[in-house]
Amino acid sequence: MEQSPFLVRAIVPEEFASWEAVIGASFGFDSRPEDQEVWKKRAEFDRYLAAFDGDDMVGTGGALTFSMAVPGGTCLPFGGVTAVATRPTHRRRGVLTAIMRRLQEQGVERGEAISALWAAESLIYRRFGYGVAIEGCSLKIERAHAALADDRPPAGRLRQVAGEAARAVFPGVYARATKGIPGTMPRGDLDWEMYFYDPEHWRDGASAHRYVVYERDGKPAGYVIYRQKEAWEGDYPHSEVRIGDLQAVDGEAYRALWRYCFGIDLVWMIKAGSRRLREPLVLLLKDPRWLQQSRVDHIWLRLLDV
C-alpha cells in the first residue's frame, strides 16, 4: 500500500481549536470559541484525527461513536465519520485518503461492523467503499395548499414550551417514535445537548427554535421543532416555517403536528429538511400534488466486517 507523505495521528484536546480552524477553512466558516465549547464535550479524541505537513495541520477527519438500528431489530455500534476536511492549499494530494484509511482501521480494531456518514458531496465516498444506504428528502408546500384531507382537531393538546421543558420531553418521544426504524440512531445526553444548541449565527435571519409538544392522555406523543422566518412582499405575508424535526409516536400525533404547522398564521411556505423518502404526509393531504419533495442521498454506509 502506498505510504502517505502526511503524518496522520489523533489530536489532543489542546489542538481542538486548530482542528476546527482547518474544518472552517475548507467548509467556509469561522470557527467560534463558544461553538467549540459545545463540540468539545462530545469529541472522542482517540478518533479525532489530523494530517500534518511538517508542523502544519492540513487535514482533519474523525468518528463519533453511535449505534444504528438495522433491519432485523438490532442496533449496531459504528463510527459516524465527521469533520472531513483538507485545507485548500493541500487538496488532491491524498490527505483525505490517508485519514479515511486510518479511520476505517480504527473501526475494524474496535470490532465495528459498519461505518456511516452524511456526505457533503456525493462524489467523494464511493472510492472508500461507501454506498447510499438510506435516502431522504426535503419537503416544501405553500400554506395556501397545505390542507389535510381529514382536518378534524386532534384528540390531545399542543403546547409551545421553552427549551428546558423540551429538553426534558423530547428524548423520550424520540426513543419511542424511532425505535427499530432502520437508519435511526439512539441519542445520548451530549447528542441532545448539541441538538438544543441554538446560537444566533446558525439561524440565517430566522427566529430562535420554537418547541411544540403534542400531549394525549396527559403524556407526550410527539413534538416539532421549527423556526419562523418573517418576510413580506409589499402588503402580503411571505414568511416561512422551517421545520427542523418532527417526531410522533403514532399516526394521530403525526397528523396533529402537521396540522399545527399548517395552521401558523402569516406563513406563505412550510419547509422541512431531513425527512424520510416515503414521508406519509403525502397521504394526508387534500391535494398532494402541491407537496414538493426533493430526494437526496442521506446515510452512506460501508461494511467493515464482511
Applying CB under 6 A, which residues contact ligand COA? 26-27, 59, 84-86, 91-97, 119-121, 123-124, 127
Q: Apex CA 175: angle with CA 169 and CA 178, to 5°?
A: 130
d(CA 165, CA 181): 26
Minimum CB–partner distance for residue 88 and ligand COA (Å): 8
Buried b (16+ CB within 10 A) or exposed e, 63-86: bbebbbbbeeeeeeebbbbbbbbb
Choice between 99 and 261, CB closer to ligand COA: 99
Choice between 91 and 176, CB closer to ligand COA: 91
Minimum CB–partner distance for residue 125 and ligand COA (Å): 8
d(CA 283, CA 275): 15
Choice between 58 and 253, CB closer to ligand COA: 58
> Which residues, in sequence order, are CB contacts of 179 under 8 Å at separation 6+?
69
Choice between 93 and 110, CB closer to ligand COA: 93
Choice between 89 and 160, CB closer to ligand COA: 89
Minimum CB–partner distance for residue 19 and ligand COA (Å): 13
Minimum CB–partner distance for residue 60 and ligand COA (Å): 9
The answer for 183, left when phi > 0, alpha when psi is -120 to 50, beta otherwise, is left
**Strand 48-53 to 157-161 pairing:** unpaired
Minimum CB–partner distance for residue 298 and ligand COA (Å): 13
Choice between 114 and 124, CB closer to ligand COA: 124
Minimum CB–partner distance for residue 281 and ligand COA (Å): 28
Residue whose C-alpha cell reads 455500534 in the numeric block: 77
d(CA 99, CA 124): 13
Q: Based on the number of CB atoms within 10 Å of its own CB, is 267 exposed (0-12), middle (13-18) or buried (19 or more)?
A: buried
33-42 vs 16-27: helix crossing angle, rounded to 10: 110
Minimum CB–partner distance for residue 31 and ligand COA (Å): 14
Minimum CB–partner distance for residue 85 and ligand COA (Å): 4
Count of beta carbons in the 10 Å neighbourhood of residue 262 = 18
CB distance 68 to 78 below 8 Å = yes
DSSP for residue 285: B
Choice between 117 and 246, CB closer to ligand COA: 117
Choice between 126 and 157, CB closer to ligand COA: 126
